[in-house]
Protein backbone atom coordinates (compact mmCIF):
# COMPACT_ATOMS: atom_id res chain seq x y z
CA UNK A 1 0.00 0.00 0.00
CA UNK A 2 2.80 2.39 0.93
CA UNK A 3 4.60 1.45 -2.26
CA UNK A 4 1.60 2.24 -4.47
CA UNK A 5 1.01 5.52 -2.61
CA UNK A 6 4.65 6.50 -3.21
CA UNK A 7 4.38 5.62 -6.90
CA UNK A 8 1.22 7.70 -7.28
CA UNK A 9 2.85 10.60 -5.42
CA UNK A 10 5.97 10.42 -7.64
CA UNK A 11 3.80 10.28 -10.77
CA UNK A 12 1.80 13.34 -9.65
CA UNK A 13 4.98 15.20 -8.77
CA UNK A 14 6.54 14.41 -12.14
CA UNK A 15 3.38 15.55 -13.92
CA UNK A 16 3.76 18.95 -12.25
CA UNK A 17 7.35 19.28 -13.35
CA UNK A 18 6.54 18.32 -16.95
CA UNK A 19 4.30 21.33 -17.43
CA UNK A 20 5.91 23.93 -19.61
CA UNK A 21 5.62 27.59 -18.81
CA UNK A 22 5.41 30.12 -21.63
CA UNK A 23 8.33 32.46 -22.08
CA UNK A 24 8.21 36.22 -21.97
CA UNK A 25 9.07 37.99 -25.20
CA UNK A 26 10.88 41.32 -25.13
CA UNK A 27 10.12 43.98 -27.77
CA UNK A 28 11.61 47.19 -29.11
CA UNK A 29 10.08 49.65 -31.53
CA UNK A 30 11.50 49.59 -35.05
CA UNK A 31 11.75 52.72 -37.13
CA UNK A 32 11.63 52.72 -40.91
CA UNK A 33 12.83 56.27 -41.59
CA UNK A 34 15.38 58.73 -40.33
CA UNK A 35 14.86 62.48 -40.57
CA UNK A 36 17.44 65.24 -40.93
CA UNK A 37 16.37 68.36 -39.11
CA UNK A 38 17.22 71.72 -40.65
CA UNK A 39 17.66 73.35 -37.24
CA UNK A 40 19.44 72.53 -34.01
CA UNK A 41 17.16 70.74 -31.59
CA UNK A 42 18.06 69.26 -28.23
CA UNK A 43 15.94 66.51 -26.71
CA UNK A 44 15.56 67.94 -23.24
CA UNK A 45 12.80 65.82 -21.74
CA UNK A 46 10.75 62.69 -22.33
CA UNK A 47 7.93 61.82 -19.98
CA UNK A 48 5.27 59.17 -20.19
CA UNK A 49 1.99 58.66 -18.37
CA UNK A 50 2.44 56.74 -15.12
CA UNK A 51 0.83 53.56 -16.45
CA UNK A 52 3.35 53.49 -19.34
CA UNK A 53 6.38 54.05 -17.10
CA UNK A 54 7.24 50.35 -16.95
CA UNK A 55 8.55 47.45 -18.99
CA UNK A 56 5.05 46.01 -19.14
CA UNK A 57 3.17 46.45 -22.40
CA UNK A 58 -0.32 47.78 -21.97
CA UNK A 59 -3.56 47.30 -23.88
CA UNK A 60 -7.14 48.40 -23.48
CA UNK A 61 -10.47 46.80 -24.15
CA UNK A 62 -14.07 47.49 -23.17
CA UNK A 63 -13.27 46.35 -19.61
CA UNK A 64 -10.38 48.77 -19.10
CA UNK A 65 -6.59 48.85 -18.98
CA UNK A 66 -4.53 45.64 -18.83
CA UNK A 67 -0.93 44.51 -19.22
CA UNK A 68 0.10 41.70 -21.56
CA UNK A 69 1.25 38.68 -19.57
CA UNK A 70 4.04 37.46 -21.85
CA UNK A 71 5.05 40.49 -23.93
CA UNK A 72 7.18 43.26 -22.47
CA UNK A 73 9.38 46.11 -23.60
CA UNK A 74 13.09 45.29 -23.62
CA UNK A 75 13.59 48.12 -21.11
CA UNK A 76 11.26 50.64 -19.44
CA UNK A 77 9.08 52.37 -22.02
CA UNK A 78 10.56 55.90 -21.59
CA UNK A 79 13.97 54.51 -22.66
CA UNK A 80 12.40 52.71 -25.63
CA UNK A 81 10.86 56.00 -26.79
CA UNK A 82 14.05 57.98 -26.18
CA UNK A 83 16.15 55.55 -28.23
CA UNK A 84 13.54 55.54 -30.98
CA UNK A 85 13.64 59.34 -31.16
CA UNK A 86 17.43 59.41 -31.24
CA UNK A 87 17.48 56.81 -34.01
CA UNK A 88 14.82 58.70 -36.01
CA UNK A 89 16.43 62.12 -35.61
CA UNK A 90 20.19 61.46 -35.44
CA UNK A 91 21.10 65.12 -34.87
CA UNK A 92 18.71 65.44 -31.94
CA UNK A 93 21.00 63.99 -29.32
CA UNK A 94 24.19 65.68 -30.50
CA UNK A 95 23.06 69.24 -31.03
CA UNK A 96 22.59 72.13 -28.73
CA UNK A 97 19.66 74.28 -29.69
CA UNK A 98 15.97 74.64 -29.08
CA UNK A 99 14.63 72.43 -26.31
CA UNK A 100 12.26 69.66 -27.35
CA UNK A 101 10.06 68.07 -24.67
CA UNK A 102 7.75 65.14 -25.32
CA UNK A 103 5.05 63.77 -23.05
CA UNK A 104 3.47 60.49 -24.19
CA UNK A 105 -0.05 60.35 -22.78
CA UNK A 106 -1.00 57.05 -24.41
CA UNK A 107 0.45 54.41 -26.71
CA UNK A 108 -1.41 51.13 -26.72
CA UNK A 109 -3.75 48.93 -28.71
CA UNK A 110 -7.44 49.22 -27.97
CA UNK A 111 -9.11 45.91 -28.80
CA UNK A 112 -12.68 45.99 -30.07
CA UNK A 113 -12.62 42.21 -30.39
CA UNK A 114 -10.02 39.46 -30.05
CA UNK A 115 -7.95 40.45 -33.12
CA UNK A 116 -9.10 43.92 -34.17
CA UNK A 117 -9.00 47.43 -32.87
CA UNK A 118 -6.99 50.64 -32.99
CA UNK A 119 -3.49 51.55 -31.90
CA UNK A 120 -3.75 54.91 -30.16
CA UNK A 121 -0.88 57.29 -29.61
CA UNK A 122 -1.35 60.67 -27.95
CA UNK A 123 1.54 63.00 -27.17
CA UNK A 124 2.07 66.60 -26.17
CA UNK A 125 5.19 68.07 -27.73
CA UNK A 126 6.81 71.36 -26.78
CA UNK A 127 9.50 73.10 -28.83
CA UNK A 128 10.56 76.24 -26.98
CA UNK A 129 7.26 78.21 -26.86
CA UNK A 130 5.33 76.14 -29.41
CA UNK A 131 3.12 73.32 -28.16
CA UNK A 132 1.20 70.73 -30.13
CA UNK A 133 -0.91 67.71 -29.22
CA UNK A 134 -0.50 64.77 -31.57
CA UNK A 135 -3.20 62.12 -31.77
CA UNK A 136 -2.67 59.13 -34.06
CA UNK A 137 -5.05 56.20 -34.51
CA UNK A 138 -4.15 53.21 -36.64
CA UNK A 139 -6.70 50.44 -37.27
CA UNK A 140 -5.40 46.89 -37.01
CA UNK A 141 -6.42 43.32 -37.66
CA UNK A 142 -3.69 41.17 -36.14
CA UNK A 143 -3.60 37.38 -36.07
CA UNK A 144 -0.68 37.28 -33.59
CA UNK A 145 1.50 39.53 -31.47
CA UNK A 146 4.13 40.01 -34.19
CA UNK A 147 1.46 41.45 -36.49
CA UNK A 148 0.27 43.69 -33.66
CA UNK A 149 3.84 45.00 -33.25
CA UNK A 150 3.95 45.82 -36.99
CA UNK A 151 0.87 48.01 -36.49
CA UNK A 152 2.35 49.63 -33.40
CA UNK A 153 5.47 50.47 -35.44
CA UNK A 154 3.30 51.95 -38.23
CA UNK A 155 1.54 54.14 -35.68
CA UNK A 156 4.89 55.29 -34.33
CA UNK A 157 6.17 55.94 -37.87
CA UNK A 158 3.19 58.23 -38.50
CA UNK A 159 3.86 60.10 -35.26
CA UNK A 160 7.55 60.56 -36.14
CA UNK A 161 6.70 61.82 -39.62
CA UNK A 162 4.15 64.30 -38.23
CA UNK A 163 6.64 65.36 -35.56
CA UNK A 164 9.31 65.97 -38.20
CA UNK A 165 7.07 68.25 -40.28
CA UNK A 166 5.93 70.13 -37.18
CA UNK A 167 9.50 70.67 -35.99
CA UNK A 168 10.54 71.86 -39.45
CA UNK A 169 7.65 74.37 -39.50
CA UNK A 170 8.59 75.66 -36.03
CA UNK A 171 12.37 75.94 -36.34
Inside any domain, residue 21: no
Q: Residue range 141-164: average pLDDT?
A: 94
Rounded to an integer, what distance in angstroms lies between the CA atom of residue 16 and that of residue 20?
Answer: 9
24 in a structural domain: no
Q: Which structural domain range is residue 112 located in?
A: 39-169
SS3 state at 82? helix
Provide the CATH number for the domain around residue 92: 3.40.50.10610
Global pTM value: 0.83
Which is it for the CA torsion 50, 56, 57, 60, positive or negative?
negative
Tell me if 19 is assigned to some domain: no
Q: How far is 167 from 171, CA to CA, in rounded Å?
A: 6
Q: Please report, for residues 82, 114, 129, the alpha-carbon distance to residue 154 in angstroms, rounded to integers and kept in the order given.
A: 17, 20, 29
DSSP string, 106-129: EEEEEESSSSEEEEEEEEEEEETT
pLDDT in tens, 60-113: 999 999 999 998 999 999 999 999 998 999 887 666 888 999 999 999 999 999
Amino acid sequence: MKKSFCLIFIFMLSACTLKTTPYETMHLLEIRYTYNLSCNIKLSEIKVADYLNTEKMVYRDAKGLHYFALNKWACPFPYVIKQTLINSFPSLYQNQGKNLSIYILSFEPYFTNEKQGKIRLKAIVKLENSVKTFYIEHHFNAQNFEELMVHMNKTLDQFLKNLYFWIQANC
